[in-house]
Amino acid sequence: MRDKPRALAVMEAAAAVSEDAAWAALHEALAGGRPTLALPDDQTARDCVVALSRCGFVARFKPGDEDDPGRQAEAVMLPLIKRMPTGLADAAGADLLAGRWSDALQLCLQYWRTHAAPGAAERAALERVRIELGVDVGGTGRQ
């Protein structure tokens, strides 16, 4: 008997997803789709996003249909962008104005990962929104 794929086991354990639903989501994701899992609460969804990221999948937490990921990211980034050097702040602001909030988030994360201590409020807020929105950001500099 073959072992279950790790992502399948994660969905079953971390999110209490049925085996059939987990297989369906896995097959859809591997085929290039964007499966949606309806989970019982926000914390379970967040745990599932983190667990799936460890398996190499980029998942996104979405608490409701009315949420706009760009606005959610912007709300976290704007106060931090104001404290960044002018050139970086301008670039991140231009990305936000153009609707490229994930690019702005990447710039902010690169700056704050280098200029704030691990566990600092700035880094924690950016990392949390990155996880909740399922943004895959490369890490350069200090982690």
The domain locations on the chain are 6-53, 69-133
| Contacts of 85 by beta carbon, 8 Å cutoff, 6+ apart | 111
How many CB atoms lie under 10 A from the CB of residue 60? 14
Which range among 12-16, 52-56, 82-86 shows the weakest confidence by mean pLDDT?
12-16
Separation CA 98–CA 88 (nearest Å): 15
CB 61, CB 131: distance < 8 Å: yes
Rounded average pLDDT over 93-100: 91
Whether 78 has a pLDDT exceeding 90, the answer reads: yes
| Better-scored residue on pLDDT, 32 or 75 | 75
What is the predicted pLDDT for the residue at 141? 39
Residue 64 clears pLDDT 90, i.e. is over it: no
Whether the CA torsion 47, 49, 50, 52 is positive or negative: it is positive
Res 67: pLDDT: 61
- Mean pLDDT score across all residues of the chain: 81
pTM listed for this prediction: 0.52
pLDDT over 90 (residue 114): yes
Arithmetic mean of pLDDT, 53-64: 73
In angstroms, the Cα distances linking 123 to 17, 109, 115 are: 31, 7, 9
pLDDT at 142 over 80: no
Asked if 4 and 14 count as a contact pair (C-beta separation under 8 A), the reply is no
d(CA 55, CA 140): 21
